[in-house]
Amino acid sequence: MRLSHLLSACLLVTPLASAMAEEPPRHPSAKEILDASPAADWRTLDPANTLYMDLQAGRVVIELAPGFAPEHVANIRTLAREGFWDGLGIYRSQDNFVVQFGDADADAEDAAKAKSLGSAKTELPAEFARKADGPAFTRLPDVDGWAPEVGFVDGFPAARDPATGEAWLAHCYGALGAGRGGPPDSSNGSELYVVTGQSPRQLDRNITLVGRVVKGMELLSAIPRGPEPMGFYEKPEERTPIIAIRLASEVPESERTPLQVLRTDSRTFADATEARRNRRDDWYVRPAGHIDLCNVPLPVREAKH
């Protein structure tokens, strides 16, 4: 080949080779990461720490957090075993905030109208926070406006403060809390609420959080809103009836909802969260490089047999 032809060929090949060399690597999406996850990165819900809230529209599955609120969770287990919530209802739905359920007559002037708590305790200590040196904490790298450090403990969105040595659960979408009155220790776990709006993190360390909804949030978030200012229904017939709230361990295995949740201390969770922090899809012009604690999805799937 003549030298001039060889040079021309090199000029044609070099830009193509350069373009191929500069092509950015493809990053898997969060879904692809989850689809490829090993079985060991998932855990099956413990029936002893799982509540089934059965409504006419379907089942809400709730995971309890005894590591943060042991006395509340113990009382809730007792209330569930004795059928306290069966036949009661969701009596509050406040827009962009919470739905609340329990005995709407609990604070009635006529004490005889209130439903008995059975053998459950009538008084519990406030369990707003716990010592931080116990549970393993999977920390997010991002700055948070409500706590020095945020991340996850056993699947629950949580925060901690190294200066005080405290850790606590965060009021993210789907969080389950125990309503209280004025005094911090005025909750007994019978009146519960679920966050259905933008995360009200100002409530952190002011109310005892006892768990989170794992499946069925669409059933709660779709409940019609009550009147202003706080969403309490004015008429009993407006409430959403609760068929039953039971511990999964008290339900025959054939009637359980077999679910697995992604371990928040797993590599899969870390990679999927990073994929959401820095979205590199073709649609995104600028990856955020940041994710809010309450915007981190907690993957759930049907248990594989």
What integer pLDDT is reported at residue 198 of this predicted model? 95
What is the C-alpha to C-alpha distance for residues 100 and 94, in angstroms, rounded to an integer?
9
What integer pLDDT is reported at residue 10 of this predicted model? 44
Specify the DSSP element, H or E, that contains 300: strand 300-302
Assess whether pLDDT exceeds 60 at residue 74: yes
- The 10s digit of each residue's pLDDT in 246-288 is 999 999 999 999 999 999 999 999 999 999 998 888 888 888 8
pTM for the complete prediction?
A: 0.90
Assess whether pLDDT exceeds 60 at residue 20: no
DSSP annotation of 2: -
- The 10s digit of each residue's pLDDT in 48-60 is 999 999 999 999 9
Paired tokens of 300: 């759930």
Q: Are 253 and 50 in contact (CB under 8 A)?
A: no
Confidence band of 113 (pLDDT split at 50, 70, 90): confident
What integer pLDDT is reported at residue 1 of this predicted model? 47
Specify the DSSP element, H or E, that contains 11: helix 3-22
What integer pLDDT is reported at residue 12 of this predicted model? 44
Assess whether pLDDT exceeds 50 at residue 127: yes
- The 10s digit of each residue's pLDDT in 157-204 is 999 999 999 999 999 999 999 999 999 999 999 999 999 999 999 999
In Å, how far are 43, 244, 273 from 268, measured between CA atoms?
13, 35, 8
Which is more confident, 221 or 305? 221
What integer pLDDT is reported at residue 24 of this predicted model? 61
- The 10s digit of each residue's pLDDT in 83-99 is 999 999 999 999 999 99
* 36-41 average pLDDT score: 96
- Using alpha carbons, select from 241, 233, 232, 194 the residue that is nearest to residue 216: 194
| Burial class of residue 17, CB neighbours in 10 A (0-12, 13-18, 19+) | exposed
